[in-house]
């Protein structure tokens, strides 16, 4: 029947701003105005709770488990180091000013 509550996520203080189901695992992640990120199992039990420094308004789950195992982006082609060296060599050098002696001012 419509309007029947099947599951409830308990432990919130304030409104829920984002709710996201994991694509493969039986988990639901949520963020609320109380600045906590919560992971619940599909049966409603709380798995993990983390306090965040800012109030989040949305949430996105990633399926990658190991960030370091991802492929590195290809190196950028374009500006060569030789061109940069030629530019620096062509610039005029400016001598650094010498520091003078500091004098004490009496009476201050």
Q: Give the DSSP H or E segment for 81.
A: helix 81-90
Which phi-psi region, left, alpha or beta, contains residue 78 (left: φ > 0; alpha: ψ -120 to 50)?
A: left
Q: What is the band of 77 on the pLDDT scale with cuts at 50, 70, 90?
A: low
Give the pLDDT confidence score for residue 51 in this predicted structure: 92
Which phi-psi region, left, alpha or beta, contains residue 18 (left: φ > 0; alpha: ψ -120 to 50)?
A: beta
Instruction: Summarize pLDDT for 1-18 with one digit per residue, the tens.
Output: 677 877 777 667 778 888
CB-CB neighbours of 40 under 10 Å: 22
What rounded mean pLDDT belongs to the chain? 76
Instruction: Summarize pLDDT for 42-55 with one digit per residue, the tens.
Output: 887 888 899 988 87
The ranges assigned to domains in the chain are 14-63
């Amino acid at each position: 029947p419509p309007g029947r509550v099947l599951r409830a996520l308990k432990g919130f203080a304030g409104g829920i701003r984002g709710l996201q189901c994991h694509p493969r695992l039986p988990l639901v992640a949520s963020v609320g105005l109380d600045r906590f990120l919560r992971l619940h199992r599909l049966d409603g039990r709380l798995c993990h709770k983390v306090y965040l420094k800012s109030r989040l308004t949305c949430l996105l789950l990633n399926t990658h488990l190991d960030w370091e195992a991802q492929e590195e982006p290809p190196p950028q082609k374009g500006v060569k180091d030789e061109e940069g060296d030629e530019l620096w060599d062509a610039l005029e050098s400016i001598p650094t000013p010498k520091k003078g002696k500091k004098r004490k001012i009496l009476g201050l």
